[in-house]
Amino acid sequence: MKKRSILLNGMALVTAVVAVLFIAAAPHEEVDIPKETWSFQGFFGKFDQAQVKRGFQVYKDVCSACHAMNLMSYRNLAQIGFSEDEIKEIAASVQVTDGPNDAGDMFERAGKPSDTFKPPFANEQAARAANNGALPPDLSLIARSRAGKGFAGYEGADYIHAILTGYKEPPAGFQLQDGMNYNEYFRGHQIAMPQPLSDGAVTFADGAPNTLEDESRDVAAFLSWAGEPNLEARHLTGLKAVLFLVVFTLLFYAVKRKVWSKIH
């Protein structure tokens, strides 16, 4: 009996080792996205509200010239600490087409908090025409769709930060196509978007440092929030759920022991 269990344990061990090798195996990537630390990671992760707010400013002042965010409304900004008046002001800074009115005509009016972020282009064709044929993707879910795969994959924020800080001079001999830009972290290293951010490109309302690194991190945090505005509620509910389940499980474990003591 003993001998057999040693053999079985050995097999189980070998299986486990190979399984770990499997799980650890990562596809060889052309580019390696550096992993950063973010306030919203981990079991207790929360957004840094000031950072997300600054990130919105980066989006508004720079990104929104080309990138839409069709899943976001101005009212959502209340969640990251903008006051009602500030939101009304931000919304009113754009003109949107509404209607038809009673006369059957479309009309222009100032934006309202319930409006979605005004897109920079009327349609895909207009966006491509203005951008050398390339389509600037919608940014609402960019942090989620560009995340690394699997449990240990990099965050979408890591990817955004890497791209924004990855503009370099192309290495000697690199064939850069017309109208393209070299980026260390973009697949194939050729990206249609010209370098959008640089040191001092945005002057933050709260006077925070505005190097390229700061701006990139802030906008990456903002886009992570926009990708999952309920992240904090998820973490908090999760902690409550786990706490409840631990008590539930221990209770039933105790009852199980008690009930089964008659059998054993």
Partner 1 sequence: MTAVFKNPVIRWIDHRLPVFSYLQHEANDYPTPKNLSYWWNFGSIAGFMLMVMIATGIFLAMQYTPHVDHAFNSVERIMRDVNYGWMLRYLHMNGASMFFIAVYIHIFRGIYYGSFKAPRELLWIIGVLILLLMMATAFMGYVLPWGQMSFWGATVITNLFSAIPVVGDSIVTLLWGGFAVDNPTLNRFFSLHYLLPFVILGVVVVHVLALHRFGSNNPTGIDMKGPQDSIPFHPYYTVKDMYGLGVFMLFYAFWVFFAPVALGDPDNFIPANPLSTPEHIVPEWYFLPFYAILRSIPDKLTGVLAMGASIAVLFILPWLDRSPVRSGAYRPAFKRFFWTLVFVCAILMFAGKYAPANYWLPFELTIVPPEYMAAQAHLESVDALWPISFAGGHFGIQIITLGQIATVYYFAFFLVILPLLSIFERTLPLPLSISKAVLESHGGGAQSSSAAAKEKA
Q: Is 125 in the site for partner 1 (CB under 8 A)?
A: no
Query: Does residue 151 bind partner 1 (CB under 8 A)?
Result: yes
Helix axes 156-165, 212-227, angle to 10 degrees: 150
Q: Does 78 bind partner 1 (CB under 8 A)?
A: no
144 binds partner 1 (CB under 8 A): yes
Q: What is the rounded CA–CA span in Å between residue 162 and residue 176?
A: 20
Give the one residue of 9, 12, 84, 194 binding partner 1; rule: CB under 8 A: 12
Minimum CB–partner distance for residue 242 and partner 1 (Å) = 6
The span from the CA of 169 to the CA of 214, in Å, is 21
Pick from 189, 185, 139, 188: which is nearest to 165 by CA?
185
Question: Could you say whether residue 184 binds partner 1 (CB under 8 A)?
Answer: no
Query: CB within 8 A of 155, min separation 6: which ones?
Result: 35, 36, 38, 41, 143, 147, 148, 224
Q: Are the CB atoms for 55 and 218 separated by under 8 Å?
A: yes
Interacting residue with partner 1 among 11, 65, 78, 129 (CB under 8 A): 11
Binding positions for partner 1, rule: CB under 8 A? 4, 8, 11-12, 15, 18-19, 21-22, 24-28, 43, 71, 76, 140-141, 144-151, 153, 156, 227-230, 233-235, 237-239, 241-242, 245-246, 248-249, 252-253, 255-256, 259-260, 263-264
